Structure 1
Amino acid sequence: MIDEILELGFEAVELSHGLQLTLLPGIKKAVEDKRARIEGVHNFFPAPIESLGDSPDMYQFTSYKEPERKRALELTFQTMEHAAELGASYVVLHMGSVPFFKANECTRELERMARNGLIGTREYALRKGEIVRRRMELGPRYCERARDTLAALADKAAEWNLKLGIEGRSHLEQVPDEPEMLQLMQEFADHPHIGYWHDFGHIQRKHNLLLLNHEEFLQSMQPYLIGSHVNDVRWPSRDHRAPFKGGDVDFAALLRYFKPEMPLSWELSSSMTVDDIRTARQKWDACLPW
């Protein structure tokens, strides 16, 4: 797996939340043999042994159930320990969600309306307004739980010399939303091990639903930015596409908010072929502003 990634011209690897425990010895061996450099890790890594698949949101820091929050914290400490052992510099975190209506159903409703050509109509504007207002009403209590967890994780991050990247999410139901993210980053601005992790695909999906302006939001988060997941979006919401393959993300405009030393980790669907990735890499190298 790692050899294939390196053969495509990438310099390092981010280990994702879907990897099973059985793969860890082989990954460690590749690092020990200096065949691979692990730049970062995405929580939870490896996947919890009780999970049946890729479940990064199986346990949430925002849950009203204390045992679930404790399990999420325990698994995150394990992830951070593995990251430090593998020489990684960062860990990407999902913070949780606000459970109103059905899970993620409100955002999916807006996506269905977009696919049906209702973007820009009064019907869409009214429904979007209802959902956003409800999210604003319910959000604070869940964001407070996420904030408490982040405070608990910050000291461990410093101990292991890791940066924690709080990932921008794709659904209104997820925590933090954009105002909450800005507030969290301002509160932890003096902590050198906490920062914002930008996901081009996630934020573009919200841009496509008229929930934000992608470039304006990224510009507001630039002081806290530590890295990103690179993927494109086929309108309105099919993300994890290879860049420049018919997607909507304006990488040429957005990459200028990054610094050359920041990790830009490609997070792609398994439907992307080797040829897709190689073609995208050629265009990507020409697009970089440094």
Structure 2
Amino acid sequence: MSDIALSTMWAIGQFERLADFFHAGKALGFTHFELNHGVDSAMLEGLSLNGCITSVHEPCPADVSMGTLKARNWLVSALDEDERRRGVTAVQRSIDLAHELGAGAIIVHPGRVDVDPELEFRLVALYRQGKAGGPEYAAARERLAAARAARAGANMRSVRRSVLELAEYAEPRGVRLGLENRYHYFEIPLPDEVDELLNLGCGDTVGYWHDVGHAEVLENLGFGTHEEWLQRFAQRMVGIHLHDVVGVDDHQAAGLGNVDWELVARYLPAGALLTCEFQNYNSPEQVKAGLDLLRRAVGEGRPRA
């Protein structure tokens, strides 16, 4: 059997009851699961999950949804102290749930830089139009990078404070924080910011969570390379989200896109938590084929760094 977990991302909007998702996942060969940020307390009620949940993705339980947190700027990166505290509280609820279920880690989104997201949306639109090699695209990318660089320092001060508070909360509960690389360039962290956050003196309580698709998308947009994330942070990796990418469209089942799985496998440390983070549009057959591919490429029994 595989030691690769399946995220409840595949369940949301597809299964009426979460119990049906777990049954379907087990039928496909999964024995362990990650609770994602689409799962709220009502969906968990009555389920016996101890022993099969490897990780929890904040803000699960999403009784305050991720959409609400973003819309109200209740994020760990917020400059307003009340908003920042609400973001920290949301992550603390995930730490509590992970502790209750015996999950060893939570995945943390470290917020965003307060720039106009339209700068990135326009860049992505140009990419989809096939203009990534042209001067208009290069200018749009530079505008986004410059705007982010000008504002990142203030938001990072909030993130540093939040991570220190969360580490203090998580450590006695035996839960590790995996700071995840993000899909959007305007989000936190970039590689140098990961390095900064991993050197706050929190020890093993704070580590890095690698999202394959996010790193791949940023490379496709022209922001660094996928391999840089792996090279720099493999030894601090708590876990990894596994999904494939076509262009800027991620969360495809493994094998449906262009990710270099041999590259990913080369850097995986022993003990890293492995999770398939496939969207619900992937068919059961695609999920099963993706699991089989990942078992061969990065899964159980494969030597790791």
Structure 1 and Structure 2 fold alike (TM over 0.5): yes
Instruction: Report the alpha carbon displacement of residue 278 of structure 1 after superposing the two structures with TM.
Output: 0.9
The residue that corresponds to 2:262 in the other structure is 252
Amino acid at match of 2:200: E
| 8 A contact 1:169–1:199 mirrored in 2 | yes
Amino acid at match of 2:249: R
| 8 A contact 1:106–1:172 mirrored in 2 | no
Instruction: Report the alpha carbon displacement of residue 198 of structure 1 after superposing the two structures with TM.
Output: 0.5
The residue that corresponds to 1:204 in the other structure is 216
Q: In 1, distance between residues paired with 2:284 and 2:69? A: 26
Q: Structure 1 stretches (4+) deviating beyond 3 angstroms?
A: 53-58
The residue that corresponds to 2:179 in the other structure is 166
Q: In 2, distance between residues paired with 1:152 and 1:30? A: 28
Q: How does 1:33-44 map to 2 (within 5 A)?
A: 37-44=52-59
| 8 A contact 1:201–1:240 mirrored in 2 | yes
**Structure 1 residues 135, 210: CA separation in 2 closer, same or farther (over 3 Å shift)?**
same
Q: Is the aligned partner of 1:106 residue 2:140? A: no
**Structure 1 residues 165, 159: CA separation in 2 closer, same or farther (over 3 Å shift)?**
same
- Give unmatched runs, 5+ long, in structure 2: 1-20
**Structure 1 residues 15, 9: CA separation in 2 closer, same or farther (over 3 Å shift)?**
same
| 8 A contact 1:89–1:162 mirrored in 2 | yes
**Structure 1 residues 167, 55: CA separation in 2 closer, same or farther (over 3 Å shift)?**
farther
The residue that corresponds to 2:85 in the other structure is 70
**Aligned-CA RMSD value:** 1.7
The residue that corresponds to 2:96 in the other structure is 81
| 8 A contact 1:57–1:94 mirrored in 2 | no
Instruction: Report the alpha carbon displacement of residue 54 of structure 1 after superposing the two structures with TM.
Output: 5.7
Q: In 2, distance between residues paired with 1:172 and 1:160? A: 32
Q: In 2, distance between residues paired with 1:192 and 1:93? A: 15
TM-score by length of 1: 0.90
- Give unmatched runs, 5+ long, in structure 1: none
1:19-60 deviation digits (Å, cap 9, x = unpaired): 121122233x243xxxx51101011111124x4x76564520
Q: Is the aligned partner of 1:123 residue 2:166? A: no
Amino acid at match of 2:232: S
Amino acid at match of 1:219: Q
1:184-214 deviation digits (Å, cap 9, x = unpaired): 12334x6111001000111111010110111
| 8 A contact 1:43–1:92 mirrored in 2 | yes
The residue that corresponds to 1:94 in the other structure is 109
Amino acid at match of 1:47: A
Amino acid at match of 1:8: L
The residue that corresponds to 2:28 in the other structure is 8
Name the stretch that deviates more: 84-93 or 59-68: 59-68
The residue that corresponds to 1:217 in the other structure is 229
The residue that corresponds to 1:232 in the other structure is 244
Q: Is the aligned partner of 1:61 residue 2:76? A: yes
Aligned residue for 2:199, secondary structure, equals helix
> Pick from 198, 203, 218: which aligns with 1:185?
198
Amino acid at match of 1:284: L
**Number of residue pairs the alignment of both structures matches:** 278
Instruction: Report the alpha carbon displacement of residue 154 of structure 1 after superposing the two structures with TM.
Output: 0.8
| 8 A contact 1:17–1:54 mirrored in 2 | no
The residue that corresponds to 1:45 in the other structure is 60
Q: In 1, distance between residues paired with 2:203 and 2:69? A: 25
Instruction: Report the alpha carbon displacement of residue 175 of structure 1 after superposing the two structures with TM.
Output: 1.3
Give the share of equivalent positions with the same residue, in percent: 27
Q: In 2, distance between residues paired with 1:26 and 1:250? A: 40
**Structure 1 residues 268, 185: CA separation in 2 closer, same or farther (over 3 Å shift)?**
same
